Amino acid sequence: MAGLIGAPLTVARCLALQAAWSYERMQGVGMAWASEPALRRLFGHDPDRYRAALGRSASFFNANPFLAPTAVGAFLRAEADEMPPAQVERLRTALSGPLGALGDRLYWTGVVPALSGMAVCGVALGAGWWPVLALLLVHNSTRLWLGHWLLRLGWTHGPMVGVAMTASPLSGAATLAAIVATVAGTAAPLMVTGSALEDGSLADWGLVAAAVLVAVGFRWLRGRRASALKFTLAASVVAILWHLGRA
């Protein structure tokens, strides 16, 4: 069974979870597309059960797409264990909120702005396009690895996957990614607009370092309410004024 849930095809199909997004079912059709290979292997010998399970997998579902493989794995385990259809539906509904909230913290306010900010800083330091290529490589390879891990997590714990998610390192990873995003998002506008590059003066670097320290301090005091986006916007204003002052 572990080989079934860890099938590369199931993980790959999770990448297209939102390809058939709709207001009626949100990511439901994508969930069915991702679950279909495993359902076929589970119930291919019983066409009626296969069609019923596939129909349930296409019902309404909405969560962060990066963490949705967790729900795919838990759904497949529930179907394999012959849980009543009503309980399967309640499980999908219960997972939508937590996976959406944690996934948004981990990726949209953490990993994505952190990697993007670091790539911009790398380009500003004269590394050419290599930081951009590194961003794409790290982002996509990490997503594939995480998708496989989450799929197995959902399959292993089934209806108890929520408890497993709480005990997992994902929440800590989201906090760490948000801090890195704060640092990179604050430094990037200053490094691009100013002269704090390979030929930058000590004063230039001092301004960047001071801005980063202030941002991290506010992030520590305000917690999640101080998002990396706010610091990037504030740093952009400082960068514009810095540029005008140097003109």
- Counting residues of the chain whose pLDDT is more than 70, the rounded percentage is 89
Binned at pLDDT 50, 70 and 90, residue 6 comes out as: low
**pLDDT value at residue 216:** 77
* DSSP notation for 112-128: HHHHHHHHHHHHHTT-T
**pLDDT value at residue 69:** 94
- Counting residues of the chain whose pLDDT is more than 90, the rounded percentage is 52
Q: Which of 16-25, 158-167, 228-237 has the lowest mean pLDDT?
A: 228-237
Averaged pLDDT for residues 4-27: 85
CA distances, 200 to each of 203, 225, 239 (Å)? 8, 33, 14
pLDDT tens track for 195-230: 544 555 666 677 778 778 877 777 777 766 667 777
- Give the separation between CA 87 and CA 89, rounded to whole angstroms: 5
pLDDT tens track for 141-182: 999 999 999 999 999 999 999 999 989 999 999 989 988 988
Q: What are the residue ranges spanned by the domains of the chain?
A: 2-95, 104-246
pLDDT tens track for 26-81: 999 999 999 999 999 889 889 999 999 999 999 999 999 999 999 999 999 999 99
**pLDDT value at residue 233:** 76
- Give the separation between CA 156 and CA 149, rounded to whole angstroms: 10
> Does the CA dihedral 156-171-30-57 come out positive or negative?
positive
Q: Does 183 have pLDDT greater than 60?
A: yes
* DSSP notation for 165-189: HHHSTHHHHHHHHHHHHHHHHHHHH
- Give the separation between CA 203 and CA 207, rounded to whole angstroms: 6
**Are 173 and 109 in contact, with CB atoms under 8 Å apart?**
no
CA distances, 50 to each of 7, 43, 103, 230, 235 (Å)? 18, 5, 30, 48, 54
